Amino acid sequence: MTATHTTERAVIAKRVDSGTADTEEIRDLARAAGYEVVGEITQTRTEDPAYHLGEGKVTRLSNVVAREGAAVVIFDNTLGPYQTYNIGNELPERVRVIDRFRLILEIFGQRAQTRKAQLQVELAELRYELPRAEAKASLAKRDERPGFMGLGEYDESREEDIKKQISNIRDELESIEETERHRREQRRESGFDLVALAGYTNAGKSTLLRRLADDLDVDENDDLHPDLDTTAESEDRLFTTLGTTTRRAKVGKREVLVTDTVGFIQDLPHWLVESFKSTLGSVYHADLVLLVVDISESVEEIREKLVTSHDTLYERNEAPIVTVLNKTDMVDDEEVQRKTDALSSLAPNPVAVSAKQGLKIDDLADRIDHELPDYERERLVLPMTDDTMSLVSWIHDHASVETVDYGDQVVIEFEARPAIIEQSRAKAGDLVGASA
Ligand SMILES: Nc1nc2c(ncn2[C@@H]2O[C@H](COP(=O)(O)OP(=O)(O)OP(=O)(O)O)[C@@H](O)[C@H]2O)c(=O)[nH]1
Ligand SMILES: [Mg+2]
């Protein structure tokens, strides 16, 4: 699927029960989806069952849409199917009405480039549609009016259809995940520590990955991640990354695999989170999680995002979490210190960096090295045979070799993850056994 860049003109609408409506985030999301925001209507009142807004407000909305020649109205609320229909009737011809979740789905649909991401978007869409189809079907059933019967029958089969599709997609996702699990295990056995980047969208995860990583991309779908191209800039838009990409990085003596993940966002409905949960698989199974936040945001905003991130990670994550305060180039040292102190209970001992400017990346690398399970030392004495030569090269591939002495025997000293040491001992045992 290629990204479609619509430049349709959009009017934002938002209702809040009390206080004043803040439209900053929905504007950002609209722009992320490719819309040009040309106006907005907000209202503080209880929800109107038929129109969501008050009827007078809907007329105002219609006027703004007509005046600005808008093609779309974007609600920062959840609209029921009938509200959507009723509002649509009050607007000029052919103007679309979408709500917050539809909009997020549109963005995800545009960004989904891997099979897995596409399936997840489809799953999310179907989960969005299912209760709506169910509602229609049950209303039609209750309603004896003949005109509705046809609709009812149709919707009931639609409901079954959606359920079947959901189950098919789940199966396919499961098999993709199985492959990923297998790949993760192989990587671990190859001596890599697995580090995952997590955090809100736009925090700078992809930029940081590029800073940490060597050039090599270890996923097969490299070409599907233009945002990770070393020559391409990260974009200042939401959800640049959908799906995960893994790159190899050297941290101290270690070979580490760093995985970039989809960004979190506030107020995601649970069905949407559910659909993208498997995206977080690489986070849940990492040896270390780097939780990236944007230090240029307000303390309140960062705190809220940290809390949500921890909630998302809490259930299944067992790895240590290091908070990375990114974008230090945008604030002065005093502000970094003040915010670090204010956030100390949520983010104890964080590392402050600028991914973009490459500041303090070494400190972060040291910290990663420190947090990962310790390497162990090993010294093996091996007979001088051809098989030994291939074991020595295996050790070179999987460990950090300090010395190799070739005499009557081969003496090799190295450091590696405990699992690698075990494997090398077993292989050495086979060799010695065979040559005896
Ligand atoms: N000033 C400054 N900008 C940064 C820094 N790191 C990243 N950015 C900018 O922040 C924006 C988002 O960066 P990304 O790396 O795409 O963020 P992300 O967390 O991967 O975002 P998603 O993929 O949407 O989840 C881009 O415009 C980056 O250039 C930094 O250290 N300083
Ligand atoms: Mg990204």
| 326 annotated ligand-binding residue | yes
Nearest CA owner, ligand 1 atom 8: 204
Q: Is pLDDT at 218 greater than 80 in this prediction?
A: no
Ligand 1 binding pocket (C-beta < 6 A) is 201-207, 234-236, 238-241, 263, 326-327, 329-330, 354-356
CA 367 and chain centroid, separation: 23
Distance 292 CA to ligand 1 centre (A): 10
Distance 204 CA to ligand 2 centre (A): 7
Nearest CA owner, ligand 1 atom 10: 204
Q: Which of 73-87, 270-284, 350-364, 382-396 has the lowest mean pLDDT?
A: 270-284
Q: How many CB atoms lie within 10 A of CB 311?
A: 10
| Measured torsion, CA atoms of residues 129, 132, 137, 139, in degrees rounded to the nearest 10 | -170
Residue 102 CA to residue 278 CA, distance in Å, equals: 21
Distance 202 CA to ligand 2 centre (A): 7
Residue 195 CA to residue 204 CA, distance in Å, equals: 16
| 221 annotated ligand-binding residue | no
pLDDT single digits (tens) 131-160: 777 776 666 666 554 444 444 445 567 888
Residue labelled with tokens 């790895």: 319
User: How much is the average pLDDT of 271-299?
Assistant: 79
User: What is the model's pLDDT at position 275?
Assistant: 63
User: What is the model's pLDDT at position 243?
Assistant: 57
362 CB burial (10 A radius; 0-12, 13-18, 19+): exposed
Residue 343 CA to residue 302 CA, distance in Å, equals: 8
| 356 annotated ligand-binding residue | yes
Q: Is pLDDT at 117 greater than 70 in this prediction?
A: yes
Residue 369 CA to residue 117 CA, distance in Å, equals: 31
* DSSP β-bridge partners for residue 294: 326
Q: What is the largest CA-CA distance in the chain?
A: 95
Sequence-separated (6 or more) residues with CB below 8 Å from residue 8: 34, 35, 36, 70, 71, 72
Distance 205 CA to ligand 1 centre (A): 6
Residue 412 CA to residue 424 CA, distance in Å, equals: 11
How long a stretch of residues is the chain?
Answer: 436
376 CB burial (10 A radius; 0-12, 13-18, 19+): middle
User: What is the model's pLDDT at position 43?
Assistant: 97
User: What is the model's pLDDT at position 237?
Assistant: 52
Q: Is pLDDT at 183 greater than 60 in this prediction?
A: yes
| 355 annotated ligand-binding residue | yes
Q: Which of 54-63, 272-281, 374-383 has the lowest mean pLDDT?
A: 272-281
> Are 280 and 312 a contacting pair, CB within 8 Å?
yes
User: What is the model's pLDDT at position 217?
Assistant: 46
SS3 for 174?
A: helix
| 206 annotated ligand-binding residue | yes
Segment of 70-74, 105-109, 250-254 carrying the highest mean pLDDT:
70-74
Atom number in ligand 1 closest to CA 263: 25
Mutate to test the pocket of ligand 1, among 110, 200, 207, 224 (most ligand atoms within 8 A of CB): 207
User: What is the model's pLDDT at position 214?
Assistant: 64
Q: Measuring CA to CA, which residue among 90, 78, 24, 26 is closest to residue 52?
A: 78
Nearest CA owner, ligand 1 atom 24: 239
Residue 395 CA to residue 250 CA, distance in Å, equals: 17
User: How much is the average pLDDT of 60-89?
Assistant: 93
User: What is the model's pLDDT at position 397?
Assistant: 84
User: What is the model's pLDDT at position 436?
Assistant: 56
| 328 annotated ligand-binding residue | yes
What percent of the chain stands above pLDDT 90?
Answer: 43
Kindly list the protein residues that place their beta carbon closer than 5 angstroms to ligand 2, a single-atom ion. 205-206, 240-241
Distance 208 CA to ligand 2 centre (A): 9
Query: In what helix (H) or strand (E) does residue 231 lie, and over which residues does it extend?
Result: none
Predicted-complex ipTM score: 0.98
Nearest CA owner, ligand 1 atom 29: 234
415 CB burial (10 A radius; 0-12, 13-18, 19+): middle
> Are 204 and 305 a contacting pair, CB within 8 Å?
no
Distances from the Cα of 417 to the Cα of 192, 236, 312, 423, angstroms: 8, 38, 29, 10
Residue labelled with tokens 């460990």: 399
Q: What's phi and psi for 376, nearest 5 deg?
A: -110, 155
Distance 307 CA to ligand 1 centre (A): 20
Segment of 18-32, 48-62, 239-253 carrying the highest mean pLDDT:
48-62
> Are 72 and 102 a contacting pair, CB within 8 Å?
no
Locate the DSSP E strands across 261-416: 288-294, 321-326, 351-352, 376-383, 400-406, 409-416
